[in-house]
Amino acid sequence: MTETVPLQSASQKPRRGRPRGAPDASEARQKLIRAGLEHLTEKGYFSVGIDEILKAAGVPKGSFYHYFHGKADFGLALVAAYNAYFTTQIERAFLDEEHAPLDRLRIFTARAEERMARHGFRRGCLVGNLGQEMGALPDEFRAALTAVLEDWQARTARLLSLALAQGTIVPHHAPADLAETFWIGWEGAVLRAKLELRPDPLRRFADTFLRLIEIEATNT
């Protein structure tokens, strides 16, 4: 959920005008995606111009329009790339059987904090940023952003189901409901950490949420 540069971009649907046989995820496209993620996770969509992205990426305008129809198309490609990168971060923590389920969620939030710290808490979540700007974004962003959040929630619900089966979380809440509550709050925490330029809101939300749902182990 927090920023950072994806190892490889997703969203590699074919584009008109690309030479047959040319690699889709070219170096120029990768540079544009990387610069886009860096700028939009910090400043959002509307305060960043294409020219700023081109300059940061060191890529000419012609290349941009070779890969993207325009800013909205670029923004949607950023969402896909961000999701691909971020899903690997989620899975790396959530599927790590070395740790108990709730500890995996704890580790996930701690690593997200580390990533935000690397950039002085100036970069937030691309999905949260764009979600906040949805009132002015093209409507196709709505489905894309909602789908990403629902996917992260589904992965979290599976993790919490495991915790429930092991008797380590309170039994009166469906894992899917807790997972949705976690992501609603975590996006709020990232927003707040970016506002305050410090980790405290991330820690506060993660600690309080986890302590509220956890049943202390007494005999395991």
Binding stretches for a copy of itself (CB under 8 A): 42-44, 46-48, 122-124, 128-129, 131-136, 142, 145-146, 149, 170, 172-173, 177-178, 180-181, 183-189, 191-192, 194-197, 201, 204-205, 208-209, 211-213
Residue 155 gets which letter from DSSP?
A: H
Q: Specify the residue for token string 């305050």.
A: 196
How near is the Cβ of 172 to a copy of itself at its closest, in Å?
A: 7
How many angstroms separate the CA atoms of 103 and 97, rounded?
10
Q: CB-wise, 30 or 38, nearer to a copy of itself?
A: 38
Q: CB-wise, 31 or 173, nearer to a copy of itself?
A: 173
Q: From residue 175, how far is each of 101, 146, 148, 163, 207 by CA, in Å?
A: 12, 19, 18, 9, 18
Q: CB-wise, 81 or 127, nearer to a copy of itself?
A: 127
Q: CB-wise, 18 or 192, nearer to a copy of itself?
A: 192
How near is the Cβ of 27 to a copy of itself at its closest, in Å?
A: 27
How near is the Cβ of 185 to a copy of itself at its closest, in Å?
A: 4
Residue whose C-alpha is closest to residue 14's, from 87, 77, 61, 57: 77
Q: CB-wise, 95 or 174, nearer to a copy of itself?
A: 174
Q: From residue 28, how far is each of 33, 38, 49, 72, 192 by CA, in Å?
A: 9, 15, 18, 18, 34
For 21, left (φ over 0), alpha (ψ -120 to 50), or beta? left
How near is the Cβ of 75 to a copy of itself at its closest, in Å?
A: 13
Residue whose C-alpha is closest to residue 214's, from 153, 158, 163, 180: 163
How near is the Cβ of 105 to a copy of itself at its closest, in Å?
A: 15
